[in-house]
């Protein structure tokens, strides 16, 4: 025979329900910020991949077209940076620099493109899906640089200065400590890698020295 529960003992008491609510509130207070920080950290890694892809694209276009190329950073309304890849075919009379040369655009191929009129049009990618600047802050080294140029062999053109050598992503002041800063470093050989900019890091993931 099943034991009979005393009258009034069925279900939760008020104290038990209050205790459950208090514990739930504590769990939410701890868990929600942690989850928010984890999501922002994942988005920061994705943002690093976004810029790495742009640098790799600029290099690959130089190699595949046997041309000069460049990656240009353009401010986005969310405080981050879009990127654009252009190519240019240098001549003896008109080298491809920041102020000379016929560079491709999103609507037209570069002068001298052997595939014209259906030649390469500049590629653009928007940073609109990246975290806004009130959550993640991006910075570029060298200071003041917004472009980097590649030679037809895929090397960084060291004659152009200042040039992008690193793009760093860090939490904003209001999200301090939400994630570890991450960076995309570019070698003179034109290879872009995602790395840890912390100078105290001595792992293989540490960014190369500037």
Residue 70 within a domain:
yes
Range of the domain at 31: 15-195
> What are the start-end ranges of the H helices in the chain?
14-65
pLDDT at 4: 53
| 152-178 pLDDT per residue, tens | 999 999 999 999 999 999 999 999 988
179 within domain boundaries: yes
pLDDT digits (tens, 9 = 90+) for 66-122: 999 999 999 999 999 999 999 999 988 888 988 888 999 999 999 999 988 889 999
Residue 95 neighbours by CB under 8 Å, 6+ apart? 101
* CATH number, residue 163: 3.55.40.10
Position with higher pLDDT, 55 vs 14: 55
pLDDT at residue 31, rounded to an integer: 47
Percent of the chain whose pLDDT exceeds 70: 85
Rounded to whole angstroms, the Cα distance separating 163 from 180 reads: 25
136 touches 171 (CB < 8 A):
yes
**Under 8 Å between Cβ of 146 and 51:** no
Q: Of 49, 70, 90, give the one whose Cα is nearest residue 148.
A: 70
Q: Which of 7, 13, 150, 11 is nearest to 71 (CA)?
A: 150
Residue 3 lies in a domain: no
Token pair for residue 121? 């049009």
Q: Give the sheet arrangement for strand 166-171, strand by strand.
A: 136-141, 166-171, 182-186, 192-195
Of residues 140 and 2, more confidently modeled: 140
* pTM attached to this predicted model: 0.82
Give the chain's domain count. 1
- Classify residue 208 as exposed, middle or buried by CB count within 10 Å of its CB (0-12, 13-18, 19+): exposed
What would the mean pLDDT of 139-145 be, rounded to a whole number? 95
Flag whether pLDDT at 7 surpasses 70: no
pLDDT band at 34 (very low <50, low <70, confident <90, very high): confident
7 within domain boundaries:
no
Indicate whether 37 belongs to any domain.
yes
pLDDT value at 8 more than 60: no
Please report whether residue 84 resides in a domain.
yes
């Amino acid at each position: 025979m099943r034991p009979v529960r005393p009258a009034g003992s069925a279900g939760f008491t008020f104290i038990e329900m209050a205790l459950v609510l208090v514990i739930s509130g504590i769990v939410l207070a701890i868990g929600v910020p942690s989850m928010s920080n984890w999501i922002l950290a994942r988005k920061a890694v994705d943002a690093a991949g976004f810029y790495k892809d742009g640098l790799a694209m600029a290099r690959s276009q130089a190699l595949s077209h046997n041309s000069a190329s460049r990656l240009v950073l353009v401010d986005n309304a969310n405080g981050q940076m879009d990127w654009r890849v252009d190519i240019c075919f240098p001549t003896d009379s008109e080298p491809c620099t920041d102020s000379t040369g016929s560079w491709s655009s999103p609507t037209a191929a570069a002068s001298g493109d052997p595939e014209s009129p259906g030649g390469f049009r500049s590629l653009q990618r928007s940073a609109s899906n990246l975290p806004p600047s009130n959550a993640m802050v991006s910075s570029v080294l060298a200071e003041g640089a917004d472009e980097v140029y590649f030679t037809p062999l895929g090397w960084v053109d060291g004659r152009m200065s200042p040039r992008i050598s690193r793009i760093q992503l860090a939490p904003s002041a209001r999200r301090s400590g939400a994630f570890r800063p991450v960076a995309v470093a570019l070698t003179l050989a034109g290879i872009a890698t995602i790395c840890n900019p912390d100078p105290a890091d001595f792992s293989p993931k540490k960014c190369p020295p500037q």
